[in-house]
Structure 1
Amino acid sequence: MLPLQDGFSRRFYYLRLSVTDVCNFRCTYCLPDGYRPPEGSKEGRNAFLSLDEIRRIVSGFAAMGTRKVRLTGGEPSLRRDFTAIIETVANTPGIEKVAMTTNGYRLKERAQAWFDAGLTALNVSVDSLDPRQFHQITGENKLVEVMEGIAAALAAGFKSVKINAVLLKGLNDHQLDAFLGWIKHKPIELRFIELMQTGEMDTLFRDHHVSGEQIKRRLLESGWAQQLRGKDDGPAQVFMHPGSQGRVGLIMPYSKDFCAGCNRLRVSSAGKLHLCLFGDNGVALRDLLAADNQQDALQQRIRAALAGKSATHRLHEGNAGMTPHLASIGG
């Protein structure tokens, strides 16, 4: 079967699958007031995709060439069946990589079980190495526990551990040297993510946005070299230095041609296909996830939706689409 491809000849090997939009942290750039169920959403156990629905959606994407699945949230580990979700995705024919993005609060106790279940890569959010500032940004005084979780992940055997830090002017943008010193002797990729404007974060964006290009210039001036990007890699520009075991990735959605290499699609925890993090609405898929015999219809709907994918987002125009905050469709 032909791989997923849009009208701009971009191929899609990478699925970001949200399994819950609930999160127990209160990060300033995402859920500063804590998690609140979306207006009109279902309550209880049926609010989010079931294990069988997850199996069917991943099988459908795998049949169309998807090779990498990232499990996101909210905080995905809040699902009681999260280990079973990992096993289900990892055992899907065609899926080669299973990753997750986490705030790390359960990582210390679950890292080995998740690795054994088939998880191959981890992204852990660490927005500051200073405990007080970490608390200020995330709303939780959990830096020690998160750092212990990262150590547990490395000990469990994970070869791909990435640290996500959202750049915030006046809060953590001065900590580059501290971060670089931390990864010098660790096989970790540190990823600085440029703050993105969303529907509920206009004031925060105006006050704290800083361009990732500033960090890029500092890296290049310090001897860091940019690397080539793999076909199922995320959007980060990755840099290496001969004196560092760790690497640095920069995610800069406001940079020129950011969308030209787009290779990922998103499915929300409510079963909607999102063609872009900053798109409008979404395409309902859940009605086609009730039984295994609906795979052809599921794949046809995904392909039909992809034909309408835009060439680029409209962030440069101040248009963040219908996305209220990053947790709503898995970031």
Structure 2
Amino acid sequence: MLEDRFGRQFYYLRLSITEACNFRCQYCLPDGYQGPSHEHFLNLEEIRTLISGFAQLGTQKIRITGGEPSLRRDLSSVIDICRHTPGIKKVAMTTHGGRLAQNIASWHAAGLDQINVSIDSLDPRQFAAITGQDKLLHILKGIDMALEGGMKVKVNTVLLKDFSQHRLSRFLDWIRHTPVTLRFIELMQTGDHEAFFKQQHLSGIPLRTQLLEQGWKPLPRELDAGPAQEFSHPDYAGRIGLILPYSKDFCLSCNRLRVAANGNLHLCLFSEQGVSLRPFLQSSDPAELKGFLQEVMASKHATHHLNEGNTGATRHLAMLGG
């Protein structure tokens, strides 16, 4: 089992397979993607060795991220590798959902258990203004198809200062009859977007207080769960999750590591440049990779330093998929 010097154990790997994204979200890539091309990212055999090594060290859940993972033509093969690696019990993916409707059946058939879709507004015009893409209705159709196929669906929305009570009410009306987990995420500062962060950051603490006052009840946290605090309500088919990275003790329950599309291991979303795992991925035998992973865990810090304005090497969230 991978464990750091603070006794935290790591069951969950977030694997980015591309930095590229074709949306232009205001808080991430407002000017579009301008990074390296796909040939610079991990190939299928490197991914196979990587997943095998992590699984042999106790990893049970893989989340495939980007950028936008559906931009890789071999995405179904990546899912299949994760699904058929001994020890991996759950395969999830985060996507903007633009290609969800036409691909969800093949992704599910390849072994995808859960899908997380980013939707920052249920108003089509506001959604287009935030993302640069007029695809909300198409994405909602894809979510319906995923639910009909029996998949677990979570929807991520970033809290911004212009997040109105009307916008919240619209989301709550939607999940009254739609069995998704709606997760509100505090805007996080990144290196390229300091000014936008200062203009738009909104604490999620008042929203948590409001939910509790309205009868939402906290749910116990699963072993391989991410950082969200989840709540349920008897009058709603859906659930609500809150991700509050600026809250006290946010990092105490950390159980996840990140590997970037270029093969760099990041011990925290907001930390160093990462250390390259690629030298250990050229063989199908993950023995050297496992030894290196166990060794490097000693350098994981107790917490991020977001409250101090330290964003580390993270220029934008597409680098590591959040």
Class of the TM-score when normalised by the shorter of the 2 chains: over 0.9
Work out the CA distance in 2 between the residues paired with 1:46 and 1:101.
Answer: 21
Matching residue of 1:291: 283
Work out the CA distance in 1 between the residues paired with 2:110 and 2:300.
Answer: 34
Deviation at 1:175, TM superposition (A): 1.4
Matching residue of 1:133: 126
Instruction: Tell me whether 1:88 sits opposite 2:81 in the alignment.
Output: yes
Deviation at 1:46, TM superposition (A): 2.5
Choose from 263, 273, 279 the match for 1:281. 273
Please give the secondary structure, in 1, of the residue aligned with 2:292: helix
Work out the CA distance in 2 between the residues paired with 1:300 and 1:30.
Answer: 35
Deviation at 1:79, TM superposition (A): 0.4
1:279 touches 1:320 (CA, 8 Å); kept in 2?
A: yes
Map Cα deviations across residues 53-89 of structure 1 (whole Å, 9 max, x no partner). Answer: 1111000000000000000000001100001110111
Matching residue of 2:53: 60
Matching residue of 1:226: 218
Matching residue of 2:293: 302
Q: Tell me the TM-score normalized by structure 1.
A: 0.96
Matching residue of 2:4: 6
Work out the CA distance in 1 between the residues paired with 2:28 and 2:206.
Answer: 23
Q: Unaligned stretches of 5+ in structure 1? A: none
Choose from 39, 50, 55 the match for 2:43. 50
Aligned ranges 1:63-212 → 2 under 5 Å: 63-158=56-151, 160-171=152-163, 174-212=166-204
- How big is the alpha-carbon RMSD for the aligned residues of Structure 1 and Structure 2? 1.0
Aligned length: 322
Q: What residue identity is the alignment partner of 2:180?
A: I
1:133 touches 1:171 (CA, 8 Å); kept in 2?
A: no
Please give the secondary structure, in 2, of the residue aligned with 1:192: strand
Deviation at 1:177, TM superposition (A): 1.4
1:162 touches 1:188 (CA, 8 Å); kept in 2?
A: yes
Matching residue of 2:23: 25
Please give the secondary structure, in 2, of the residue aligned with 1:193: strand
Deviation at 1:173, TM superposition (A): 6.3
Work out the CA distance in 1 between the residues paired with 2:169 and 2:274.
Answer: 40
1:167 touches 1:173 (CA, 8 Å); kept in 2?
A: no
Return structure 1 stretches of 4+ with deviation > 6 angstroms.
none
Please give the secondary structure, in 2, of the residue aligned with 1:175: helix
Q: Unaligned stretches of 5+ in structure 2? A: none
Choose from 297, 313, 319 the match for 1:322. 313
Deviation at 1:156, TM superposition (A): 1.9
Deviation at 1:228, TM superposition (A): 1.1
